[in-house]
A and B are shown apart, each in its own frame.
Chain A
């Protein structure tokens, strides 16, 4: 199964999207795959209902906050 990834700008398969963020899928996984198969059912089974619901209800932080968070992570790794 191959689709074009709007974030990377080339084709990827579902194996990539389902674990793009390590233990979590890519945050676009629903919008990229829901028209193709029952992505909701798939992740509910694989991740467990509560983890999947938690993932779906996340509100991504804005970019600046995310960058500052990464800076903090770098600093904390050095302490």
Chain B
């Protein structure tokens, strides 16, 4: 019988998180305070974060102990299995061995509780009574709601109004775990009231929801803010994924040629990738790839790659198509905006050439996700579909190169509360490539007068 899973016992769970800041070849630039232009000091952040998490945010210690109460909660579903995707391999018919870290086994269905639990714990120790945050579709909001409940903290989630209306299930999950889930903009904050005064039908935005959450905690000395991606301490907590995967790969005598994750704010990607980034810094041959969304065609008409020099706004954005195809939209020079919302650590690693990003079109990602579901069974979250598309792409490259490859990726979450997105794809509602001119005219006319956020 072929082995499908590599399981660590509870006692084998890693006891420390890995902090890549200790090993970066060049240090991360400190954020600057908008009022003074000086590097941000820990005390500047004290009104919104507990000091123990601020210390982690700026720490350069290589290893940070995972507190026992956090480990106890992790053990509800961790260590997560490392699975071999043999059925998907057969479908791809390429010289690859594909391993995935199944992060969809958490109670909230994604990798998000890895940091939600840690943050709730540190807030509890600090003396916080209530945590406030913002969420879109609710993956983060639901994970934090669960974590707060586990440590006896109140939780308030400002959920973008359009998401609140469209995505009821994660909202219900938040309520089930005892959190307050408030559609944003709300009457609860000055920021929300200002928006509603101008536009009572505002569908909201993440920017407005963040403003509300920050105002909420600044107004309450017993409350603190929590973020599910981007920040250093969030990526730190997620390294449990890659650290477990390293142990599991070692158990079966494998080491990945390619490590992949979907890269939104960088927490899932950082989680699987950072322990392998350390290996790469110290000389291991490993390719580390973050998969991100684009509207441009990619796999079916040729992979689409970018020059990352534009991050520092020094060189123009350069689009390259490696397989050749007939349509490459003229790249628009707005390189900085491409990285909106990306973790500084990940952006820094891209600049250092330790990590590369590849972008995939939404239709290709859903196609990959559906092929996954039809071979491996599990329905991935649409974000996870991005990395599955990247795996498909890497398998094609291996086939073209005639080279055997071991691929490891983070299967970041299940899609059982995202089925409406699959329905949109399956019913053809999602936009294909380049629309005809008359279709654009018609569509743009149809949306005139829609409410502003």
Asked if B420 is at the interface (CB within 8 A of a chain A CB), the reply is yes
Inter-chain CA distance A12–B296, complex, in Å, is 17
Whether the pair B344, A62 counts as a contact (CB closer than 8 A) is yes
Whether the pair B452, A22 counts as a contact (CB closer than 8 A) is yes
- From A11, A42, A62, contact of B444 by CB (8 A): A42
Whether the pair B431, A1 counts as a contact (CB closer than 8 A) is yes
- Docked complex: B147-162 residues within 8 A CB-CB of A: 160, 162
Neighbouring B residues of A58 by C-beta, 8 Å: 336-337
**Total residue contacts A-B, CB cutoff 8 A:** 198
Neighbouring B residues of A12 by C-beta, 8 Å: 162
Whether the pair B443, A1 counts as a contact (CB closer than 8 A) is yes
Q: A28-B337, A70-B211 are in contact. Are A14 and B443 (CB under 8 A)?
A: yes
Neighbouring B residues of A11 by C-beta, 8 Å: 166, 420-421, 424, 429-430
Name A23's closest neighbour in chain B (CB-CB): B452
Inter-chain CA distance A8–B313, complex, in Å, is 27
Whether the pair B206, A31 counts as a contact (CB closer than 8 A) is no
Whether the pair A65, B40 counts as a contact (CB closer than 8 A) is yes
Q: A2-B424, A64-B45 are in contact. Are A31 and B231 (CB under 8 A)?
A: no
Name A28's closest neighbour in chain B (CB-CB): B340
Whether the pair B48, A33 counts as a contact (CB closer than 8 A) is no
Q: A10-B420, A74-B215 are in contact. Are A35 and B329 (CB under 8 A)?
A: yes
Inter-chain CA distance A39–B330, complex, in Å, is 11
Name B365's closest neighbour in chain A (CB-CB): A4
Whether the pair A31, B294 counts as a contact (CB closer than 8 A) is yes
Whether the pair B206, A7 counts as a contact (CB closer than 8 A) is yes
Asked if B219 is at the interface (CB within 8 A of a chain A CB), the reply is yes
Asked if B47 is at the interface (CB within 8 A of a chain A CB), the reply is yes
Neighbouring B residues of A57 by C-beta, 8 Å: 313, 334, 336
10 contacts between A and B (CB under 8 A): A3-B430, A3-B431, A6-B292, A7-B206, A10-B166, A27-B341, A28-B340, A68-B33, A70-B210, A72-B35
Number of A residues, CB within 8 Å of B: 57
Neighbouring A residues of B214 by C-beta, 8 Å: 67, 70-71, 74
Give the secondary structure class of A's interface: mixed
Whether the pair B230, A63 counts as a contact (CB closer than 8 A) is yes
- Docked complex: B426-448 residues within 8 A CB-CB of A: 429-435, 440, 443-444, 447
Whether the pair A16, B162 counts as a contact (CB closer than 8 A) is yes
Distance in Å: Cβ of A2 to nearest Cβ of chain B: 5
- From B32, B336, B421, contact of A65 by CB (8 A): B32
Interface centre among A9, A10, A39, A74 (most CB of B within 10 A): A9
- Docked complex: B332-353 residues within 8 A CB-CB of A: 332-334, 336-341, 344
Asked if B261 is at the interface (CB within 8 A of a chain A CB), the reply is no
Distance in Å: Cβ of A54 to nearest Cβ of chain B: 11
Q: Contact mask A33-70 → B, CB, 8 Å, 1/0?
A: 11111111010000000000000111111111111111
Distance in Å: Cβ of A63 to nearest Cβ of chain B: 5
- From B294, B339, B452, contact of A60 by CB (8 A): B339
Inter-chain CA distance A77–B121, complex, in Å, is 32
Asked if B34 is at the interface (CB within 8 A of a chain A CB), the reply is yes
Inter-chain CA distance A30–B297, complex, in Å, is 14
Inter-chain CA distance A68–B313, complex, in Å, is 24
Whether the pair B34, A61 counts as a contact (CB closer than 8 A) is yes
- From A22, A40, A66, contact of B453 by CB (8 A): A22
Q: A8-B206, A72-B35 are in contact. Are A35 and B295 (CB under 8 A)?
A: yes
Q: Contact mask A15-34 → B, CB, 8 Å, 1/0?
A: 11011111000111011111
Asked if B218 is at the interface (CB within 8 A of a chain A CB), the reply is yes
Neighbouring A residues of B432 by C-beta, 8 Å: 36
Asked if B205 is at the interface (CB within 8 A of a chain A CB), the reply is yes
- From A14, A56, A75, contact of B332 by CB (8 A): A56
- Docked complex: B389-447 residues within 8 A CB-CB of A: 418, 420-421, 424, 429-435, 440, 443-444, 447
- Docked complex: B37-51 residues within 8 A CB-CB of A: 40, 44-45, 47-48
Distance in Å: Cβ of B91 to nearest Cβ of chain A: 24
Name A39's closest neighbour in chain B (CB-CB): B332
